[in-house]
Structure 1
């Protein structure tokens, strides 16, 4: 069950990440220009994937705490995505 929850949270995180990257928000564009030199155009997706793999790996070991932390991380992404996409951030 923890794997299913983690996977669904990961899908939500990737969807929000894509929406923010494609939003054209000035903060996001500046960040992409700066970090793009160091981690490439898809580096942020690689970081997101590494977080998901780690969360799923530990969830597979039965770690409820890691799943809760990943859920909290997803909740923070929801708030940040909402702020950026509605122009409040």
Structure 2
């Protein structure tokens, strides 16, 4: 059950990340070029490795990792909402 929750949060993180990358927000111009190349593939791969690590650790009994990934996801969602709603 814990792995499923982490996986669903990961799907949300990917969606939020992709939406921010496609928003064309001026703040994205401040990112290093390797982070932006290929439509943000580097950042999506980084997100994948964070999700993979969280799922592997949560699956091996580290339930605290699921909580940590949940907090990480909430922060991610909040920042994506702030950027996409034009508050920044």
Please report the TM-score for the alignment, with normalisation by the length of structure 1. 0.89
Who is 2:28 aligned against? 28
Q: Gapped runs of 5+ residues in structure 1?
A: none
Please report the TM-score for the alignment, with normalisation by the length of structure 2. 0.90
1:9-28 superposed Cα distances (whole Å, 9 cap, x missing partner)? 10000000000000010012
Q: Gapped runs of 5+ residues in structure 2?
A: none
1:28-74 superposed Cα distances (whole Å, 9 cap, x missing partner)? 2331xx242x7843111110000000000001112111000000000
Q: Distance in 1 between matches of 2:33 and 2:5?
A: 30
Who is 1:15 aligned against? 15
Q: Distance in 1 between matches of 2:11 and 2:61?
A: 20
C-alpha root-mean-square deviation of aligned residues, in Å?
1.5
Q: Distance in 1 between matches of 2:33 and 2:53?
A: 22
Q: Distance in 2 between matches of 1:85 and 1:39?
A: 17
Give the 4+ runs in structure 1 shifted more than 2 A. Answer: 38-41
Q: Distance in 1 between matches of 2:2 and 2:21?
A: 28
| Count of matched residue pairs | 86
CA change 1:39–1:25 in 2 (3 A) is closer
